[in-house]
Structure 1
Amino acid sequence: MSSQDIPEESLPTEQGHERGAVATREDPFADPGLPAHKPRIQDIDERAARRSERTVALLFTVSMLATVAFIASYVIFPVDKIVYIWPIGHISALNFALGTSLGIALFCIGAGAVHWARTLMSDVEVPDERHAVAAEPEVRAKVMADFKAGAEESGFGRRKLIRNTMFGAMAMVPLSGVMLLRDLGPLPEIKLRKTLWAKGKLLINMNTNEPLRPEDIAVGSLSFAKPEGLEEHDHGFQTEIAKAALMLIRIQPEEIKDKKELDWSVGGIVAYSKICTHVGCPISLYEQQTHHVLCPCHQSTFDLSDGARVIFGPAGHPLPQLQIGVNDEGYLEALGDFEVPVGPAFWERG
């Protein structure tokens, strides 16, 4: 149907933007203007306005509580705890708690802001003509006046309950991001400085799982050992063996150049950390004639006849030595822990 087919009496009359649509035969799609403003219940009933204010404050308060729950989840739930949640199924309890609490915190801030805007802030629509980017001083003054009027109409300064709870919710939500830093890894405390080796711990052969005697290690041979009590099926075995892995080499005592190394050995048997001091790779390549061990990752080379000092490659310091002895039953035992932390030299940068 064309505009010529529209009966003239069915077209709205020209009454201005405030009364409704403006259309003629020549322009049936003219700007209809804004509908007449209808006041909300909160605009005319202060009790309704107070109910809306309490609702917004409640949403912001729930957001704060959810943020507290998010932080508490890190303390309450272990990383490996799995729970059944219907209808999701089995899921990490920590992930479920973090996702739920953070989602509630963010949702309640958004819902509170939307409810505040729809029920308490001014909803009068004011048309304004576009102007050039560089506004005149009079226009800038009008903008500032409109901003102040809008701030006044929003009740931001007058409705302190909403303002204070909103500030609380907005201030606490970023704490969730701070707690996420925990996922970079647990705090090491002294874990990087200590291993399972201690005075009296037997040296257990990694291949046979039996205690080692001095006669089990031949001159020129390389053996690997672990601390007594550490089993492969134990929880955290990989974490502990990554620090406590030990290599044993038997060198003729007269070929050992370092006095401390000789004092800490048993009949030429020396015990050194298997973990490279560059980036922590396991060392396993031993050259019998030179008493050198080579890290396969970046070719750091250590002289085991001279305190395991670095003679080539990027490693920063010698391999830590473990002082060993022989107990009353003839088995090799540790006489303490490593004197310095094993692995990369993080501790030298303190």
Structure 2
Amino acid sequence: MCTTILDWAKNKHIGFSTFLSLGDACDINFAELLDTLCRDSKTEAILLYVDSVKDARRFMSAARAAARNRRILVVKSGRTQAGSAAAMLHTGGPAGLDAVYDAAIRRSGMLRVNNTHELFAAVETLAHSVPLRGERLAILTNGGGPAIMAVDALSDRGGKLATLSDDTIQKLSAFLPSCWSHANPIDIIGDADIQRYEQAVNVLLDSDDFDALLIMHSPSAIAPGNDTAKRLAEVIKAHPRSRKFNILTNWAGEDEAIVSRKIFTEAGYPAYRTPESAVSAFMHLVEYRRNQKQLMETPVSTGEVQANPRHVHDILNHLLAQGIHQLETMKCACIGELRVYHLANMDCERPC
């Protein structure tokens, strides 16, 4: 895992001030590591790969303190029963319910990613991001199909598509063909040249209709990918309001698009291969923003817990009698105010 991340980071021009592997954490634990790194002036973000946490109280305390002034990404393996068992064999650490880890990570103001693909995308996004002012995404494209796929991905993950103001629509209509979308996604049509892209980007950056902008490009002879990428990187960097927004790019294709994506990466704008990965990156920013808000909130008191211990014991004894000692995270139900994890086919009605 460590060498894989280092090899990838070199290609993406992302550096590490410190790179540590704790092994089985016999002498140094995550809490001590977080306490140290959050005081390091050279560390802007912290990336954690976690099998298990041995001292939950110390970890939560250190994580909440560090997350106030450092961006922290967490890959928590062992999400399933089989994965949890494998993690125990790997490090000997205690197993734990994934839902508990998930809630703890969110409440601590950190960002959880589920796999290495999301990890790499999230690292690149956060490394080049500015704090989100809101959760509205605008999409600029020369291809309707990829933009629709991006909207689907955004909707699936609970994201919000920005609404263009009448003023912005009027300014765009002044130079775009009459058949342009007149809405977000902003489809500037397949015959868009570099100048049309440039004009559209400038109009959008002059507005306050969105919080993040995804610029998409499908291969075109009229607007060659590399030339378009180079020019737009210059235009965005020169615009006085560009640092108010998070700019994401998706240059479709592989052969020529590799160079285009590298142009954006070197200019400090994250680049993605597919519409879905670009939207996933945006949602990482949204989720991080939401988690940071949770970090600053005071938890609401749940009051006195009302539960039927006898009913709970009956369920647990039923499971143990079947030789079941650990359950998948998602298989749960409410008994009174107490959550008990059980098999989906069990009869767990609320007690009278």
- Structure with larger Rg: 1
Shorter-chain TM-score range: under 0.3
**TM-score normalised to the size of structure 1?**
0.19
